[in-house]
Amino acid sequence: MRIGLGINYAGGFKEVAAEVADLERAGLDIVFVPEAYSFDAVSALGYLAAKTERVQLASGILQLYTRTPTLTAMTAAGLDYVSDGRYILGLGASGPQVIEGFHGVPYDAPIGRTREVVEICRSVWRRERLSFEGKHYTIPLPAERGTGLGKSLKLINHPVRERIPVLLAALGPKNVQLAAEIAEGWQPIFFLPEKANDVWGESLAAGKAKRDPALGELEVFAGPALAIGDNVEGLREFIKPHLALYIGGMGAKGKNFYHTLATKYGYGEAADRIQELYLAGEKEAAAKIVPDELVRDVSLIGSAGFVEERVAAFAEAGVTVLNVVPIAETAADRVKLIEQLRDLV
């Protein structure tokens, strides 16, 4: 099992570059750079490529709607070049709150767009002259819709790899099925090992039945919070506001993917109340009622023995990468946590 870590996207990435180099030496395998509505992920990934040697670099995630498919492919090829073939293209639809609320772009057809974007990216990396006609993207633009040129082009540069790994962030049944069918990796959120098969098993099986064997086995990237030591269970309280934000605030009633997930995990009544409080502006009250059991089971927070048991549960559920969120005050403490986890996986 490999270990990943996401950098803090709310701060400046210059400050974290030296820490990432230390984490690399401590045994970290993958660094994820999120892209929410802060600095873009690409700038940070390029900077980290120059400051690291071994660790893989992943966008976690680039949003489908904010770049054309060909720009996404060009960007991935560029990042793979500057990192000497260490880049993983993490893609996801994000949600209406960010796509419509920050970018002003309609949030539509995430599944269809995902399939077409991945297909176009792989064609670009193979340096094929683009000739793509899908439901959502048509390349080149037909003469009657453009200037009349309609000329097909291919990527000028030769990519380091013609098959850059694609990681899809997905939650819903059809999205997860698509990830299992066409992507090298799948990234769920709030992964609960004992419930994962009940929620996603059918979708994963349906996707894998259509999977090209050339893709290899599907990698599963879970993202638990991490704290190891005696008497650290109190740190689980720090996870509750984060869970409340997603379950309660990331979307309107009936349109919140994370609320739906919590409900499928068996916490429907709590999820309803969290959402009610959060949307009413009572964020602290919403966080307080996040179930302790949910926090415990989606995290790696406890004694070394507890964490080792939970790591085994994640592995049993099919997780191949633990993309952890260390709970620590200093860079040195975060490095220590990665070293401790390395001894347990």
Dig out the tokens for 267 from the structure. Answer: 């916490």
Tell me which residue has tokens 């400046």. Answer: 12
Residues 267 and 133 in one domain: no
Same domain? 107 vs 249? no
Rounded-to-integer distance, Cα 74 and Cα 22, Å: 30
Count structural domains, the chain: 2
Phi, psi dihedral angles at 244 (to 5 degrees): -65, -40
Domain of 264 in residue numbering reads as 233-300
Residue 32 contacts residue 58 (beta carbons within 8 Å): yes
Segments of 49-208 assigned E as strands: 56-59, 62-63, 87-92, 132-133, 138-139, 166-169, 185-187
Tell me: do 164 and 287 sit in the same domain.
Answer: no
Same-domain status, 105 and 144? yes
- Amino acid 20: pLDDT: 93
| Cα gap 289→269, rounded to integer Å | 11
Neighbours of 128 (CB within 10 A): 15
Q: Are residues 199 and 320 in the same domain?
A: yes
Closest CA to 188 of 314, 311, 36: 314
Which element (helix H / strand E) includes 3?
A: strand 2-6
CATH classification at residue 60? 3.20.20.30
Same domain, 101 and 217: yes
Question: Which backbone phi and psi does 61 adopt, to 5 degrees?
Answer: -135, 160
How far is it, in rounded angstroms, from Cα 274 to Cα 286? Answer: 5
Total-model pTM: 0.93
Q: What is the CA 25 to chain-centroid distance, rounded?
A: 23
Same domain, residue pair 195 and 279? no
Cα(89)–Cα(73) distance, rounded to whole angstroms?
A: 9
Identify whether residues 191 and 220 lie together within a single domain.
Answer: yes
Same domain, 246 and 333: no
* H runs (alpha helix) in 210-326: 240-244, 257-262, 268-279, 283-288, 292-298, 304-316
SS3 221: strand
* Same-domain status, 18 and 118: yes
Amino acid letter, residue 34: P
* 178 and 265 share one domain: no
Query: pLDDT of the chain along its 345 residues, tens only?
Result: 999 999 876 667 777 888 999 999 999 999 999 998 888 999 999 999 999 999 999 999 999 999 999 999 999 999 999 999 999 999 999 888 899 999 999 999 999 999 999 999 999 999 999 999 999 999 998 877 877 677 899 999 999 999 999 999 999 999 999 999 999 999 999 999 999 999 999 999 999 999 999 999 999 999 999 999 999 999 999 999 999 999 999 888 888 989 999 999 999 999 999 999 999 999 999 999 999 999 999 999 999 999 999 999 999 999 999 999 999 999 999 999 999 999 999
DSSP single-letter state for residue 140: S
Q: Give the C-alpha separation, 336 to 316, whole Å.
A: 25
18-22 LR contacts (CB < 8 Å, sep 24+): 18/51, 18/331, 19/331, 19/334, 19/335, 20/48, 20/51, 20/52, 20/55, 21/51, 21/52, 22/331, 22/335
Residues 265 and 139 in one domain: no
